Structure 1
Amino acid sequence: MTAVASVEELLVAVREGRHQALPGLLKPMGQSERKAALARLKALRTELRGWDWDRWQERTKVSRSLIIAGAGCHSGAAAAAAWLGARDLRRWDRLPKGILLDVVAGRDRAWLGDVAHRLAGRTSTAQEDYPLIHELVRLSGCTVPTTDGYVYGWVETVRRAGLLRELRRDPQTPVLVPRLFETAELARPLAWSASPDAPDQWPSALVTLSEEGIVERAVLVDTTVARLLRGGKPADLRFFLALLQRLELTADEERERTADWMGMASDAPSTVASHAQGVLARLSESGELPARALADVTGSVLFRSEKKLVRAQLVLVGKVMRRDAEAARELLPAVAEAFGHQDVDVQERALKLVARHLGAVPGADDEGLREELAASAALLSPAHRAAAVEVFGDLPDARSPEEYEEILPRPPEPRRLAPAADSVPELVEDLMVLSRADNEVSLYERTLDGLVRLSHREPDALAEALRAALADRWWLDDSYRWDGDRHFSGHPHGVEVVAAALLERVPVKTLHNARGWAIAPDTCAHDGVAAVVNARLWEVAYCLRTRPLPFLLATPTWHTGALDPDELVERLREYRRLDVPVAPVDFALALLRVPRSGADSAARAAADLDTKEGDRLAAWLSGDGPALPALRAKAKAETETEPREVRTSGLLHRPASATRRRLHEAKERLALQREFPGPFHWLGRPQTDSYRTCYHWRGGPAHAPAMLPHDREALAGWLVPALKASALEDLPGTTESLPTLAEAGDPREVAGPAMHLALAAGLGARRPEDRLAAVDALLVLAARGQLDGELLGHDLAELVGLGLMKPNRLADSARTVAATGACATTWSVLAGALPGLLTAGTSPRGLGEILAVGADCVEHCGTAAAFSVGPEGIPGLAELAARRGSSQLVAQASRLLKALNQGVEQSTPETVKTSR
């Protein structure tokens, strides 16, 4: 057979996917034939990339054959390894080990070893290619690769049944076992093998290998301790801790690693820290841990939040001081670190420990030690001040509760939106940034307005710059199969549709039709906001192709999305001067962004424009425009007074009040439909707080606050269902818009019930980071003087009673607010929640934590907190405090009651200072 014929036969076999025949076709070929075939194979690979997805089965077979043929035709090890690891050829398939080994069987051993190590070094494929790499290593006799991927592959291939037997007979074991502790992440099968006692799991097998001399014990001990000290995922640390327990370190081995145990006790996760704490206790008992070292680690451990670790450390220190009174001189200052612990029980334990051992210290009359401890005692809770005075005498800088100063953040000020880009390069830069931060509404508005302005002023220069900047977009590739027309008619994909329209990649007819998309009758608020945003984008894109606008009317003035009415009047005046027709959706959005009251001068100026839009703006600013039922809070009476059996009956069978209400809403809808474009008609229906017609479970749409910056109550009401769900399900990000909502609304008015309910639900979110966003919103409302603590507290108690909030999450949120210095604000909320929580019949689990936070706040606030609950006190608190027992619940109830009573007995302070 001629060389040309053999190459053609090979290519035919590859195209037909007959990979089993490839070894027989490749072996007779010489170097020149393989070189010629390789060029054809590369061309076929390029062709394969352009195949449509409907040929995926054919593509899979051809790709498999290409891998085999390419491996046999490449002469260089680097090129062969790159070909074998190419993702575009492999998709989800593993390499065909048997056929590949047959193809390369005649290669030089050095070549095989080189390919093996190069494949092992490919992070993305080494783990799944382990079977092939291992065989290449065996055939070549090269050194065993030690990359992470190769180690992961090795662990996965070792069977759990007979694990020890396989490890014993595998010559790679002495090389790869130390690498188990050095990989970036632990191999997954090891994480599932974390029992120190099970004989068929990795910890026992590794210890047995060390006993038999296959693996050095010192290596296992050193690497295990180092990995625990390094930290990592809890599942990974469980394995290493199990191995450490199975190793059963000797006293000498533990003593040699004293510094490591100290580091773990200070910073490691609680399970690892607890083990290290036990080792340090043994070292201390045997006299191997100096008092200075114990003092150092004690100071660090007492800063930890885990009460179990802190208490255990205090017990350890107490034992040491009982054995050695001289050690107390080193240890007592470390114990005093606990005076500032967030848990008052820990503070009490530390104070008692200091009181017990201070007098026994040789030379205890030394004023230096006593003054040092007394200075730390100033950190104690006010509940322990009296006991501290008995130990140390008068405390320095002990501030009276009457001097309490509330610390709140400075009320946020509206920030003027930066002007749109004034040059093409600046606009292109904004567009690129927006593509990576599409939820940044301020940048979105500036970029959209910049596109409109520069397309009106410099259309050619802008088009040229966009074509270069967006060269990677598929809709600019004429050879691409997908239909850009259909793509942009279904969704505008942000400002991308505007750029595509400017570059004439979307037909004008498509944009015209997309503008008039009908909104379903049962549209929820999320889809409604999205419909408005999308309609405006399609409208802008359509105008760029038909009658370019000089600028947009609805671009906000402030970062909140609010539009200054005087500024809108000036924009309409400029439109009139240029004789430019107003874009309906853009103008309607502008109306939503201006306030409906308090702008009388702007209303008069708008009426003086003598245009249809000016008259509409004047009516809107004066409150005479159409009402928007979707923005009106639904009164409880509408759902509570109407009998259930009547609600589903016909109009004639409804109560007269319900009939009048529905007729009035119908009239409002007709007015809205006359004056607003179709995408806004959903605002003519009151929105419900139910998921029956809404599947959006992530929270409010990003553009909603900027669309309705003056209607915080409506926005909060739409957000409540997702916030309630986030307390029960793992729904991240539901609270991210709460701080923005807190900044919205009229700064002269207290936030409404919907905002308080949304805030309450956010404070009970499942994820700590989501609760932090709710805490930020609470502090913003408090700083603006818009927080009703009693109302928020009632909502919190109701959510706890309904099972929608766990008390420990409420305690965590309240503790976070108080830690910022807003103790009075925190107490105002808890004072509103506690009556409902204490009189609910059964005390919810975690109520003790809430009472502890409340007691902390009252002790700091003093009389201001005591008088805030009124002379009758908190219902149910005295009864709870009078119960027998020493549980956390009863103890904290007694503490809170005592703090409140002490506040009542004191004189009322003239003022409570507030720092903003």
Structure 2
Amino acid sequence: MSGEALLEAVRAGRTVEAVGLLDGMTDAERRSCLPALKELRKELRSAPWNAASRATGPALHAAGAACHTGAAGAAAWIAAADMRWSQASPGVLLHVLGDRESDWLADLTHRLAARPATSGIPFALLSGLVALSGCEVPATDAYVRGWFGHIGSSWPGESTVVQRLRRDPHLSPMITALFESVEVTGLIAWLLSDRPGSWHNALAELAEEGDLDRKVLLDGCVARLLRGGTPSHQQVFLRLLASLAPTRDEERERSADWTALACQAVPAVARHAQSVLAPLALDGELTSRQLAEMSSGVLFRTERKLVRAQLVLLGKVLRRDPSTADVLLPAAAEAFGHEDTEVQERALKLVERHATALSGSDGARERLEELAAELSPGLRLRAQRALGIEAPGSAPAVQEEALPPVPERARLAAAPESVAELAEEVSAVLASGGGVAVFERTLDGLVRHAHRDRDALLEALGPVVARCWWKDRDPGHPVVDRSFRESLQGLEVVLAALFDGVGTATLHAAVQQGATGGDCHHSALSRAFDARLWEAAHRLRTDPMPFLLATPTWDTGLLEPGELVARLAEYRRLEARPGTADFAQALLRVRRDEPSAAEEAAAKARALGSPEGYRLAQWLTAGGPSLPTARRRTSGPRVLLELGELEEVQGLFPKEFRPLGRPLTVFEDHRYCRHWGVTDRRHWPAVVPGRRELVAARLLPDISTAVVEDGHMDAAMLPLLAEADGTAGEALHLCLAYGLGARRPEDRLAAVDALLVLAARGQLDAGRLGADIGELVRRGALKKSRLTEAIRTAAATGAYATVWSVLRGLLPDLLADLASDGAGGGAVRGLGELLAVAADCAERSGARGDLAHLAGTAERHGSSKAVTQARRLRTALTREAA
């Protein structure tokens, strides 16, 4: 009867009554109630979340915990996720568990404490179980986090943190656990702030009073800093360390630890370690070997303030004790390889100042000569003079220009001969999208095998398309058809047509009327690309073609004229009807840049006697591919291009291809666009091979908007355009200029790749690019810091002459702004870094000549980076050749 009464009280949510009934029950009676409680728990999982179910939860939680006679079962019940939002209070749980043996309670305590902190076990329950069982406090993440939260919570009129810590019996093990747990540090970092009465000051006060072992705290802080971690976590222990205020003896004992931190820790910690070691070094409490070891690590860092501070420290020690030159000067020379030439010069000045103190007995001079090779060319001459390596007056050697290999066209392999091989390629294209070559040969393979043996093709492709979203839906399903009309999804529409996954009426409508979608600046390219896929899908259903005419010969999308004539001859032999969109695409792809080959192919095409043959002959003899006129327009800080009409892509071309030749205006930017993130973009250069300016002009609004508004840009298109065929004109250079100032480093890297590829192909107009970048910087579209990072990356590849040729066109505008800005203001911000890259490129490439407005900047007063680097650049440009 007691079991039935307990279940009734739990169902009614009468927790007090349920606890009273549990108090009078034996273990056996409690165990007998457990199955009914589990059934009730199952009911509550599917019950509506209402007042009744919420009232039942706490009573069920307490009853289940009490009725489990095993510690593991009780822990699982208490920590269950489905009961987390309706738990019994810690006081109720401690009451119903209070009659257990201490070993059982200790086992339960450690099981609950071992749960993740996200399990939501109340600290009051854990600490109460520790008190009931008398067990050792568990040093788990959940318990330590709860302990810190409990001690750190303060209310008006209550005791301070240090007072609560003094009363806590578990102070020492909890503080020890703080140093051992990475997760706890992140969870309680917000508690360890610098507000009045903070933890840092409280722990330091307790260490001063002897309640905590000061050595344990110091060692713990240093050990955690040595372990590394996020800057926010490191700040916790750095602030605690500062609160402890180590004495000189305590700092000296840990000199090896400070050295490691100065070399490897996050900047804030490294600065602190450097500030600790500097007084020790100046007072002679660090040996010259120890200081040299520290310097070698610090001078390798990229943080300039740290490096400069270390060079200052070395200079002070060398002035105090010149006999250390043999050890310390080679350590200082480690900065010769630093990316900042100002740092290099500081290190060189230090070597020049103390070179006379070298004894040469331990090879120090030889080491300096070796490291001098890492200096920039201009500084290398000074080092050679200072060390007596070479007679003064010799010029630095010009470095050979290093550019990537020129990308070569690759001929497309034939379509897969077997359906099994084709199925593998289809699977790869569905997974990754594939490049032009893979996509085109796969599409051609589908058309060929569908014409040859449709049943075998369907059998081979069955496992490949089994998980496609449109598979096994009703033919003509409105959702499927509407989805394909709105977004073709590349090869999938062809596969869906093969497997009757899209309606014939939808295919027919798409071929006749074109796909739906916005009329944006991309639509001309996407419509032409989609039209051929729609046509291939429709013909697979109604009149399969033997193969595709427009499959390119080369991976850039170009099609050899002789190959197209041969395909038309085969179509005529088979009495097959060419696809309208397929033939139009073939015309756009056929090569016309070699007049002799075009004339020969035109004669063969006329001899075919077919309408397509005459059309091809007419196209081949009309001259090479032309480009529309272009005009610059500005839109806010952006510079865009408008294109005029391209008459030859009009007339006899299908309507889905004619927008390629229609004018492009900047006012199309506001129209609806569905092309964000589509993988078909990579195929757009192959729609109009030989005319990449048409593609670049249509991508320019996206790229410019992304850069100006710090958004995401499809920078992968820039290297593709650089490798494509055709004139590299104003549109491509503007895209490249924007890309070099993109927000994300990976986007800037793609722009650098494109720049180097164009340079390697001899297609980079460096003057135009430099002028474009200068205009965009002056209009506020590009940030100098991002641009400098990209330019420096390009120079670091060894393309110093190329980068200098771009900077030669860019810098005059920026220097003119500086001259007209009086004291400098915004014009000088970031200019010094750009001038440093320019000076380095000029020195390494052997550039000579005058640069407009450079002299005025170099003659300005002061020693700002812009002025210093302007002087260096002027020196490099006016240095006499050897």
Same fold (TM over 0.5): yes
What residue is the counterpart of 1:282 in the other structure? Answer: 279
CA contact (8 A) 1:553 1:568 kept: yes
What residue is the counterpart of 1:375 in the other structure? Answer: 370
Partner Cα separation in structure 2 for residue 82 and residue 192 of structure 1: 30
What residue is the counterpart of 1:525 in the other structure? Answer: 521
Instruction: Sort the Cα spacing of 1:97 and 1:682 in 2 relative to 1 into closer, same or farther, 3 A.
Output: farther
CA drift at 1:786? 1.0
CA contact (8 A) 2:109 2:126 kept: yes
Partner Cα separation in structure 2 for residue 423 and residue 536 of structure 1: 24
Instruction: Sort the Cα spacing of 1:158 and 1:804 in 2 relative to 1 into closer, same or farther, 3 A.
Output: farther
Aligned 1:253-268 pairs, distance under 5 A: 253-268=250-265
What residue is the counterpart of 1:739 in the other structure? Answer: 719
Deviation track 1:551-609 (CA, whole Å, cap 9, x = no partner) reads 54444444444444444444444444455444444444444444454350444444444
CA contact (8 A) 1:512 1:542 kept: yes
Q: Which moved more, 1:29-38 or 1:582-591?
A: 29-38
CA drift at 1:836? 1.3
Partner Cα separation in structure 2 for residue 426 and residue 133 of structure 1: 62
Partner Cα separation in structure 1 for residue 50 and residue 411 of structure 2: 55
Partner Cα separation in structure 2 for residue 67 and residue 567 of structure 1: 80
Q: Which amino acid aligns with 1:703?
A: H
- Picking from 778, 786, 789, the partner of 2:755 is 778
What residue is the counterpart of 1:800 in the other structure? Answer: 777
Residue 354 (structure 2) pairs with residue 357 (structure 1): yes
CA contact (8 A) 1:716 1:755 kept: yes
CA contact (8 A) 2:207 2:214 kept: yes
Aligned 1:376-525 pairs, distance under 5 A: 376-395=371-390, 400-401=395-396, 403-417=398-412, 426-427=421-422, 429-431=424-426, 433-434=428-429, 436-438=431-433, 442-445=437-440, 447-453=442-448, 459-460=454-455, 463=458, 467-468=462-463, 475-476=470-471, 484=480, 486-513=482-509, 518=514, 523-525=519-521
What residue is the counterpart of 1:343 in the other structure? Answer: 340
Q: Which amino acid aligns with 1:393?
A: G
What residue is the counterpart of 1:858 in the other structure? Answer: 842
CA contact (8 A) 1:180 1:187 kept: yes
What residue is the counterpart of 2:863 in the other structure? Answer: 886
CA drift at 1:755? 1.5
What residue is the counterpart of 2:248 in the other structure? Answer: 251
Aligned 1:388-787 pairs, distance under 5 A: 388-395=383-390, 400-401=395-396, 403-417=398-412, 426-427=421-422, 429-431=424-426, 433-434=428-429, 436-438=431-433, 442-445=437-440, 447-453=442-448, 459-460=454-455, 463=458, 467-468=462-463, 475-476=470-471, 484=480, 486-513=482-509, 518=514, 523-534=519-530, 536-598=532-594, 600=598, 601-623=600-622, 632-636=628-632, 671=650, 675-678=653-656, 681=659, 684-688=662-666, 691-693=669-671, 701-746=681-726, 751-787=728-764
Q: Which amino acid aligns with 2:120?
A: Y
Q: Which moved more, 1:891-900 or 1:399-408?
A: 399-408
CA contact (8 A) 2:385 2:391 kept: no
Q: Which amino acid aligns with 1:884?
A: H
CA drift at 1:335? 1.6
Partner Cα separation in structure 2 for residue 506 and residue 382 of structure 1: 67
CA drift at 1:186? 6.9
Partner Cα separation in structure 2 for residue 64 and residue 420 of structure 1: 69
CA contact (8 A) 1:128 1:153 kept: no
What residue is the counterpart of 2:88 in the other structure? Answer: 98
What residue is the counterpart of 1:823 in the other structure? Answer: 800
Partner Cα separation in structure 1 for residue 816 and residue 127 of structure 2: 73
Deviation track 1:608-662 (CA, whole Å, cap 9, x = no partner) reads 444444444444444489x99xx735234999xxxxxxxxxxxxxxxxxx9xx99
Provide the secondary structure at the position in 2 that maps to 1:866. coil
Instruction: Sort the Cα spacing of 1:545 and 1:281 in 2 relative to 1 into closer, same or farther, 3 A.
Output: same
What residue is the counterpart of 1:52 in the other structure? Answer: none
Provide the secondary structure at the position in 1 that maps to 2:671. coil
Q: Which amino acid aligns with 1:675?
A: F
Q: Which moved more, 1:571-580 or 1:850-859?
A: 571-580
CA drift at 1:412? 1.5
Provide the secondary structure at the position in 1 that maps to 2:401. strand
CA contact (8 A) 2:90 2:124 kept: no
CA contact (8 A) 2:556 2:725 kept: no
Provide the secondary structure at the position in 2 that maps to 1:372. helix
What residue is the counterpart of 2:320 in the other structure? Answer: 323
Q: Which amino acid aligns with 1:243?
A: L
What residue is the counterpart of 1:839 in the other structure? Answer: 816
Partner Cα separation in structure 2 for residue 571 and residue 728 of structure 1: 47
Instruction: Sort the Cα spacing of 1:516 and 1:202 in 2 relative to 1 into closer, same or farther, 3 A.
Output: farther
CA contact (8 A) 2:380 2:396 kept: no
Gaps of 5+ in 1: 49-55, 640-657, 868-872, 908-916
Instruction: Sort the Cα spacing of 1:691 and 1:383 in 2 relative to 1 into closer, same or farther, 3 A.
Output: same
Instruction: Sort the Cα spacing of 1:201 and 1:731 in 2 relative to 1 into closer, same or farther, 3 A.
Output: farther
Q: Which amino acid aligns with 2:701?
A: P
Partner Cα separation in structure 1 for residue 74 and residue 534 of structure 2: 50
- Picking from 117, 130, 133, the partner of 2:120 is 130
What residue is the counterpart of 2:639 in the other structure? Answer: none
Partner Cα separation in structure 2 for residue 614 and residue 115 of structure 1: 87
Deviation track 1:346-373 (CA, whole Å, cap 9, x = no partner) reads 2232222223223234xx2649433332
Q: Which amino acid aligns with 1:791?
A: R
Instruction: Sort the Cα spacing of 1:668 and 1:424 in 2 relative to 1 into closer, same or farther, 3 A.
Output: closer
CA contact (8 A) 1:565 1:595 kept: yes
Gaps of 5+ in 2: 636-641
CA contact (8 A) 2:521 2:664 kept: no
Q: Which amino acid aligns with 1:717?
A: A
Provide the secondary structure at the position in 1 that maps to 2:720. helix
Partner Cα separation in structure 1 for residue 50 and residue 531 of structure 2: 40
CA drift at 1:802? 0.8
CA contact (8 A) 2:422 2:446 kept: yes
Partner Cα separation in structure 1 for residue 458 and residue 57 of structure 2: 42
CA contact (8 A) 1:127 1:151 kept: no
Instruction: Sort the Cα spacing of 1:762 and 1:478 in 2 relative to 1 into closer, same or farther, 3 A.
Output: closer
Name the count of aligned residue pairs. Answer: 842
Partner Cα separation in structure 2 for residue 740 and residue 690 of structure 1: 24
Provide the secondary structure at the position in 2 that maps to 1:410. coil
